[in-house]
Amino acid sequence: MKSLLRPVLAALALGLAFAPALSRGAGPSPETRLTRLDALVMLAPDQKAKAADIFQKEDVELSALTPAERGLKTVDIRQASRDRVRALLTPVQQKIYDRTPPMRGGGLVLATPEAKLANLDAAVTLTAAQKTVATQVFQEEFDALLALAPAERPERGTPIRQAARDQVRALLTPGQLNKMDGAHATAAAQEAAERTAVEKLLRASSGLAARVGPIVSLSPGGSSTLLMLDNGARKGTCTFRVVGGTSAETLSVSWEKAPASGVIRIVRVEGAGGAAIQL
């Protein structure tokens, strides 16, 4: 708590000079990010100017977010900036950028082989021999995904991820498989319960009923995002198709779950074109 209060009090003392940095999550400044990127890939003058513009625009967009929007929209804004930065790099620069974490100026967003191995080991307790094989599997998966452009990874990366999962399952014992499947089932059940809770809130909304008429059906769509925060809170977005007595609409719903009480509340609902809907 003290570490959070100090920068806030300092900002107040300086006439809220640090307010933009606080609202974007106190991440590195555009100047710092440009310096890191330049040190990483040696930008040409025209690349440096374009990258500076990208980082500055991102900073403005992040600073404009409301508290309710920050957890989810921050992810989209930063990914859009990474895509724009990557597009101005040469193929050689892209290869370095794709394999370097953001804190060093890169755009790596994939889970590293080391992180995936640690998660698997924590779930099932791997033997030394299994760790060796799993490390190779995760490294090959990582390299194959990096070979794809970021925009291609969701679709073209699916068979790559599935092949890696199949190889990992093949090296586990029946007992380890039970542990892993149990952990996956628990996570899936939790996500299903959260979607159900969000659906109930939508069905009970007088504002939504006034917009589309009495709700006839409400079904989850194919888009969802989940963020787990350090304090145990969970935030997510999910898509619903709502059919009412007078109209139908596809909704993008942002929600959050309190860490202590487990209570879920809807923080934002968007209709077509990103227009906010009042519940």
State how far the Cα of 139 lies from the Cα of 7, in Å rounded to an integer. 40
* Cβ contact 135:113 at 8 Å: yes
The mean pLDDT value for 198-220 works out to 92
Task: Give the residue with greater pLDDT, 43 vs 231.
Answer: 43
* 0.75 exceeded by pTM: no
Residue 211 phi, psi dihedral angles, 5° rounding? -80, -45
What was the pLDDT predicted at 230?
57
DSSP-assigned beta bridge partners for residue 253: 238, 269
What was the pLDDT predicted at 22?
38
Using H for helix, E for strand and C for coil, what is the string for 16-85? CCCHHHHHCCCCCCHHHHHHHHHHHHCCCHHHHHHHHHHHHHHHHHHHCCCHHHHHHHHHHHHHHHHHHH
Single-letter code of the amino acid located at 254: S
* Max Cα distance, the chain (Å): 62
Single-letter code of the amino acid located at 67: P
State how far the Cα of 114 lies from the Cα of 128, in Å rounded to an integer. 14
**DSSP 3-state assignment of 46?**
helix
> What pLDDT band is residue 149 in, cutting at 50, 70 and 90?
confident
Q: What is the CA radius of gyration of the chain?
A: 22
Per-residue pLDDT of 102-131, as tens digits, reads: 888 998 888 889 989 998 999 999 999 999
pLDDT at 223 over 70: no
What was the pLDDT predicted at 3?
41
pLDDT at 100 over 60: yes
What was the pLDDT predicted at 115?
86
State how far the Cα of 269 lies from the Cα of 279, in Å rounded to an integer. 8
What was the pLDDT predicted at 17?
35
What was the pLDDT predicted at 9?
34
- DSSP annotation of 111 reads P
State how far the Cα of 54 lies from the Cα of 214, in Å rounded to an integer. 45
State how far the Cα of 203 lies from the Cα of 200, in Å rounded to an integer. 5
pLDDT at 20 over 70: no
State how far the Cα of 94 lies from the Cα of 201, in Å rounded to an integer. 44
* Cβ contact 51:39 at 8 Å: no
State how far the Cα of 157 lies from the Cα of 8, in Å rounded to an integer. 42
Alpha helices by DSSP H, 108-226: 113-124, 128-146, 153-156, 158-171, 174-203, 206-212
Domains and CATH numbers, the chain: 2-104 (no CATH), 113-172 (no CATH), 193-274 (3.10.450)
> What pLDDT band is residue 16 in, cutting at 50, 70 and 90?
very low
**Percent of residues, the chain, with pLDDT higher than 70:** 85
